[in-house]
Chains A and B, each alone.
Chain A
Amino acid sequence: MTAKAAPASATVPPAGPIPDVTPRGKRSMFLRRPFFTVALIVAVGYILAAIFAPWVAPYDPVAQSMDAMMQPPTGAHPLGTDSYGQDILSRVIFGARYALIIGFFSVLIGAAGGLVIGLAAGLSGGWLEWALMRLIDAILALPSLILAVAFIAILGQGVDKVVIAVGLSMIGPFSRTVQADVMQVRVQGFVEAAHLMSIPSWQVVWRHVLPNVIFPLAVQVTIRISEAILVSSSLSFLGIGVTPPTPDWGLMIAEGRDFVSFAPWMSAMPGFALALLLIALSIVGDGIREEFDPKGRRGS
C-alpha cells in the first residue's frame, strides 16, 4: 500500500468543531464513528480488567469451595459459582487476561512469520518465489482451527503451546497480505530509482519497501486479534487447549456444557464475556480497516 492516508470520504460531514490541524484528525474519527468509539471503550475496559484482575476480582479464581457449588447468581457471587465452587465473576475477569495475552502474542507470532515469508516470496522472484507462493497456498488450504489442532497434536497442551499453535496457524494469511503489498511496492518508481542509484538492495528493502509493508500489516494485526482469541478459546472448548484449572473462557464454557440443564450460567457467563469482547473487537477492527485500509482487503 503506497498511500498511507486516504482522503476522507466526501459524504462524511465533519462532526463538531473543525480541527485546526487536518480534517482527518484522530478526534474526528471518534465522533464520526459512535459505534467504533463505544466498542473501543468496551475493549479498553477488558484490557483494564485484565491488567488489574487481582484487584478487581472479588475472589481467588482457582479457590474451590465445597460449600458454594453451582450457586446461581447472588449478591455474594454476582455471576454464580461453578461445579467446584469457584467464583465465576473472578474467573471471567482473570479469563480476560488469558484471552488477551493469548490473542496478542499469537497474532505477533503470525505477523512476524508472515512478514518473513511474505517478504521472501515478494522479493525473491524465480523458482523460490513460486515455491513460497505454493507453500502459502498449502498453508491457506487448511482452516486455521484445523491447522492449530494439528500443531497442538505435536506440541501438547498449555497456555504457551496454544499461543504457538495459534500463532503458527495464522502465518498463512499474514504472508499472503505482506506478499501482495511487496509486489505492489517493488514496481513503484521510488524503488526503481533507488536501485538505479545503486543503493544496496538490503537498504532499499529496509528503507523503502519495509515501511510501506509494516503499516498495513499493523492494521491486519489489530483486525486479527479477535480471530486469534476465537481460535484459542475454541481449542480450549474442544478440551485440547489450555488445561484446567486455568480460568480460560473456552474451558469454562466446555465445563458448563455438562450442567446446562440446571446451571446454565456456568457456560453463559464466560460465553457472554467472550462474545461481547469479540463483537467489540470486530467493530473496532472494521472501523480501523475502513479508516486505514481503503482497499478493504483481507488475507484469505
Chain B
Amino acid sequence: MLVQALKKLGQTLVVLVLVSIATFGLLKLAPGDPVQIMLGAEYSQDSYESMTRELGLDQPFLVQYADWALNFVQGDWGTSYIARTDIFTYGFKEALPVTLTLAFFSLSFAILIGVPLGVLSAVKKDTVFDAGAAVFALTGTAFPSFLLGILLIWFFGVKLQLFPVMGYVSPWEDLRLGIYHMILPGLTLSTYFIAMITRLTRATLIEVLDEPYIAAARARGEPNWRVIWVHGVRNIAMPLVTILGLQLGTLIQGTVLTETVFNLPGIGQMLTSAVLGRDYQVVQAGVMMTAFLFIGVNLLVDLSYPILDPRLRDRK
C-alpha cells in the first residue's frame, strides 16, 4: 500500500511539473515585452539590456523556468505590474482563503442536502417525490450557476431582504456574520453539486439495496433506518468520493463565477482582473494555484480509497 501511494505521489509530481512548465511557457507566448512594460515609453538601449539581464530574460527557456519554479516554491511569486503588490500575499494569503471558504461551504451544503435527497428518492423510488427530485437534478446540473446567483440575489436579497448580497466576511473571524454572508454564494455554487450528488446517490443506493448483505441485515431484524443509513449509505461513499474528486475542477471554476456574481475577493476576481489588465504573472499564479488545488485533492481522493474500502487494504 505504501508502494502504491508513493507511485501515485510520483505520478502526481510529474503532472505538477508538466502543468507548471505548460503554464510558464504558455504565458511566455503572451504578447507584449515585459521589459518594455516595466520601463515605460522611453528608455535607452543600455537600460533595456540591463533590465533584460536583471529579469533573467537573456537566459534559455529551461533556465528561466527553473529560476521561476524555485522562486515559486519558496513563495516568491513576484510583484504585480499593475497593483504593485506582492503576488504571494495577494494571491495565496488573501484570495485563496476566500475561494477555499466558498468551496468548503458549497461542498458542505451539497453533501448535507444532496445525500439525504438521493437516499429519499432511492427509498421512495417511482413516487412523486422521486420524479420531483429527478426533475430538480436534471435542471440543477444544466442550469448556469451565475444566472442562479443573480436570481437568488434578486429574490432573497432584494425582494425578501433576508440575506446580504455582496461582500465577504471571513467566517474564521466572525463566525455568525461570515456564515450569513456565505449562504447565498454557497447555495449558488452548490446547486449543481446537490443535483449531481442526488442523482448519483439515488442510482448507487438502488444498486446497493439489492445486495445480499442488505437482505442479511434485514433478516437480522435491524430497523429500516439502520439498514439504509448505516449499511446502505456506507457503501455509496466510494463512488461519491470519486465523483466529487473528479468534479472538483467544476467546483473551482464555479467559484470563479460565483465570486464575480457576489463580489467576493477570491482567486476568480484576481484572475479576471489580471486578464483584463494583462498582468500575466498574476494570471500565472492564479492558474498554478487552481491546478495545485485540483491535483492535490485528486491525490487525496486516490489515497483515501483504502481508508473507505477495507477490501483495498494490503492486497499482496
Contacts A153-B275, A237-B260, A268-B151; is A143 near B290 (CB within 8 Å)? yes
Contact with B along A33-66 (1 / 0, CB 8 A): 0000000000000000000000000000000000
Summarize B's interface: helix, strand, loop or mixed: helix
Q: Which of these, A137, A139, A142, A275, contacts B290 with CB under 8 Å?
A: A142
Q: Which of these, B14, B30, B143, contacts A154 with CB under 8 Å?
A: B30
Q: Which residues of A contact B280 (CB under 8 A)?
A: 153
Contacts A143-B290, A145-B256, A146-B256; is A137 near B15 (CB within 8 Å)? yes
Q: Are B295 and A154 in contact (CB under 8 A)?
A: no
Q: Are A267 and B276 in contact (CB under 8 A)?
A: no
B64: Cβ under 8 A from any A Cβ: no
Q: Which of these, A142, A152, A226, contacts B19 with CB under 8 Å?
A: A142
Q: Which of these, B22, B138, B272, contacts A238 with CB under 8 Å?
A: B272
Q: Which residues of B contact A149 (CB under 8 A)?
A: 256, 271-272, 275, 283, 287
| 114-145 of chain A: CB within 8 A of chain B | 134-135, 137-139, 141-145
Q: Are A142 and B287 in contact (CB under 8 A)?
A: yes
* Closest B residue by C-beta to A152: B275
B194: Cβ under 8 A from any A Cβ: no
CA distance A275 to B150 in the complex (A): 13
Q: Which residues of A contact B154 (CB under 8 A)?
A: 260-261, 264, 268
A263 CB to nearest chain B CB (Å): 10
Q: Which of these, A153, A239, A271, contacts B147 with CB under 8 Å?
A: A271
CA distance A250 to B145 in the complex (A): 12
Q: Are A257 and B150 in contact (CB under 8 A)?
A: yes
A80: Cβ under 8 A from any B Cβ: no
A15: Cβ under 8 A from any B Cβ: no
Q: Which residues of A contact B257 (CB under 8 A)?
A: 145, 234, 237-238
Q: Which of these, A138, A230, A233, A271, contacts B151 with CB under 8 Å?
A: A271
Q: Which residues of B contact A156 (CB under 8 A)?
A: 31
Q: Which of these, B14, B15, B147, B294, contacts A143 with CB under 8 Å?
A: B294
Q: Are A234 and B291 in contact (CB under 8 A)?
A: no
A265 CB to nearest chain B CB (Å): 10
A5 CB to nearest chain B CB (Å): 25
Q: Which residues of A contact B151 (CB under 8 A)?
A: 268, 271
A278: Cβ under 8 A from any B Cβ: yes
* Closest A residue by C-beta to B298: A141
Q: Are B253 and A145 in contact (CB under 8 A)?
A: yes
Q: Which residues of A contact B276 (CB under 8 A)?
A: 239-240
Contacts A154-B31, A240-B275, A279-B138; is A146 near B147 (CB within 8 Å)? no
* Closest B residue by C-beta to A240: B275
B94 CB to nearest chain A CB (Å): 19
Q: Are A278 and B274 in contact (CB under 8 A)?
A: no
* Closest B residue by C-beta to A276: B142
Contact with B along A268-300 (1 / 0, CB 8 A): 100110110011011100000000000000001
Q: Which of these, A137, A141, A275, contacts B142 with CB under 8 Å?
A: A275
A107: Cβ under 8 A from any B Cβ: no
Contacts A146-B252, A146-B290, A153-B278; is A233 near B144 (CB within 8 Å)? yes
A110: Cβ under 8 A from any B Cβ: no
* Closest A residue by C-beta to B268: A238
Q: Are A143 and B252 in contact (CB under 8 A)?
A: yes
Number of interface residues of B (CB under 8 A): 48
CA distance A143 to B256 in the complex (A): 11
Contact with A along B151-164 (1 / 0, CB 8 A): 10110001000000
CA distance A275 to B141 in the complex (A): 10
Q: Are A234 and B138 in contact (CB under 8 A)?
A: no
CA distance A268 to B276 in the complex (A): 26
* Closest B residue by C-beta to A268: B151
Q: Are B147 and A275 in contact (CB under 8 A)?
A: yes
CA distance A275 to B146 in the complex (A): 11
B250: Cβ under 8 A from any A Cβ: yes
Q: Are A138 and B18 in contact (CB under 8 A)?
A: yes
Q: Which of these, A240, A257, A272, A281, contacts B272 with CB under 8 Å?
A: A240
Q: Which of these, A146, A256, A300, contacts B150 with CB under 8 Å?
A: A256
CA distance A261 to B153 in the complex (A): 9
* Closest B residue by C-beta to A146: B290
B107: Cβ under 8 A from any A Cβ: no
Q: Which residues of A contact B249 (CB under 8 A)?
A: 142-144, 146, 300
Q: Which residues of B contact A137 (CB under 8 A)?
A: 15, 18
CA distance A44 to B184 in the complex (A): 35
Contacts A142-B291, A260-B158; is A153 near B144 (CB within 8 Å)? no
A146 CB to nearest chain B CB (Å): 5
Contacts A143-B250, A271-B147, A283-B138; is A238 near B287 (CB within 8 Å)? no
CA distance A282 to B141 in the complex (A): 9
Contacts A143-B252, A145-B253, A153-B278; is A138 near B144 (CB within 8 Å)? no
Q: Are B22 and A138 in contact (CB under 8 A)?
A: yes
Q: Which residues of A contact B290 (CB under 8 A)?
A: 142-143, 146
Could you say which of A145, A240, A274 has the most chain B C-beta atoms within 10 Å of its C-beta?
Answer: A145
CA distance A233 to B294 in the complex (A): 23
B214: Cβ under 8 A from any A Cβ: no
Contact with B along A243-254 (1 / 0, CB 8 A): 000000010010
> What are 9 residue pairs bridging A and B, where the CB atoms are less than 8 Å apart in the complex?
A138-B18, A141-B19, A143-B253, A149-B271, A150-B283, A234-B253, A238-B272, A253-B150, A268-B150
Instruction: Give me the interface of A with B, judged by CB distance under 8 Å.
Output: 134-135, 137-139, 141-146, 149-154, 156, 226, 230, 233-234, 237-240, 250, 253, 256-257, 260-261, 264, 267-268, 271-272, 274-275, 278-279, 281-283, 300
The 5 closest A-B pairs by CB, nearest first: A143-B249, A145-B253, A271-B147, A138-B18, A143-B253
